[in-house]
Amino acid sequence: MKKKILIFGGSGFLGKNLSVYLAKLRRFKITTISKKTLKNSKKIKKINYISCNINNYQKFKKKLKNEKFDFVINFSGNINHSDKKETFKAHFYDVKNIVKYIKLTKSGLLIQAGSSLEYGGSRSPQNEKQVCKPSSVYGKAKLLSSTFIMKNLNNYIILRPYQIYGPHQKKNRLIPITINSCIKNLKFPCTLGNQERDFLYVDDFIDLIIKIIRSKNIKSGIFNVGSGKPIQVKKAILTIVKKIKKGTPLFGKLKMRKDEKKSLYPNLNKTKKTFKWRPKINFDIGISKTINFYKEK
């Protein structure tokens, strides 16, 4: 009998990539929930798509028909973090509704996409035992969600990803902005680019999700997700420019945010040891794959 998986945020960057991979395996019955209604041309065969706002608990519970799932994966959220009220609602109150549904239906493991921003200003490499002091509304909402999940569920995995990139990512993120600007041969503003960031190709992230799903006797906990190999933002941008051979980054035209850390990357020892997982795709290869996706698109 096929295991049943419910993905919140199934039409987003992470949800789309996971759905594509799971559909190829043909071992799972997959249901996704998203706010927007997808066109038939964008739907993947044999996946049940539901359009609904998670904030409306009674409505999404009714649409799911109180179905019990073996795995519940939450990739939902609000990507416009400047809208503080909506950000808090989407990343905390919606999670409370998801937990409520899991308890009602006695569904299985919750895999929650947390955030590296839960750590706040703590020094890198950041580990899961550090005291969290987030400064942004997004980071605070994610940390409240983590705390709520740990208090109310016995079966959960909270992942704290760093900079994940790859196909299907929204165009308002660093890597897609840089790629599309270079493809169009534009001049585009950047910070000085001296800050270090940890970039992980999305396929490596999906590989970790699959390992979690296949694991036996999982012990609940929080796990960092990244490449473990930080690089300067300037180097990342120049790598893209070199590969596309077009585009002009204007370094120093943008200021770093006041709450932005100079160096941000994780300690991955716990994740590697627990799930026998490690990133396989280096930045050079991952960027080439991502560039090809946007060129074809």
How many CA atoms lie less than 13 Å away from 219 in the CB half-sphere?
A: 6
**What pLDDT sits at residue 224?**
98
Residue 90 included in any domain: yes
Residue 41 included in any domain: yes
**What pLDDT sits at residue 122?**
87
Residue 237 included in any domain: no
What would the pLDDT profile of 210-245 be if each residue is shown by its tens digit?
A: 999 999 888 999 999 999 999 999 999 999 999 999
CATH number for the domain including 72? 3.40.50.720
pTM (2 d.p.): 0.95
Exposed e or buried b for every residue in 205-243, given b needs 16+ CB within 10 A? bbbbbeebbeeeeeeeebbbbbbbebbebbebbebbbeb
Q: What are phi and psi of 58, to 5 degrees?
A: -60, -35
Residue 22 included in any domain: yes
**What pLDDT sits at residue 46?**
86
**What pLDDT sits at residue 56?**
92
Query: Cα dihedral sign for 177, 178, 183, 185?
Result: positive
* Residues of the chain where predicted confidence (pLDDT) is lower than 50: none
For residue 23, the enclosing domain spans 3-165+201-228+264-280
**What pLDDT sits at residue 157?**
98
Residue 92 included in any domain: yes
3-state DSSP call for residue 197?
strand
Residue 240 included in any domain: no
What would the pLDDT profile of 25-48 be if each residue is shown by its tens digit?
A: 888 999 999 988 878 778 888 899
Residue 249 included in any domain: no
Residue 72 included in any domain: yes
Give me the number of domains the chain comprises.
1
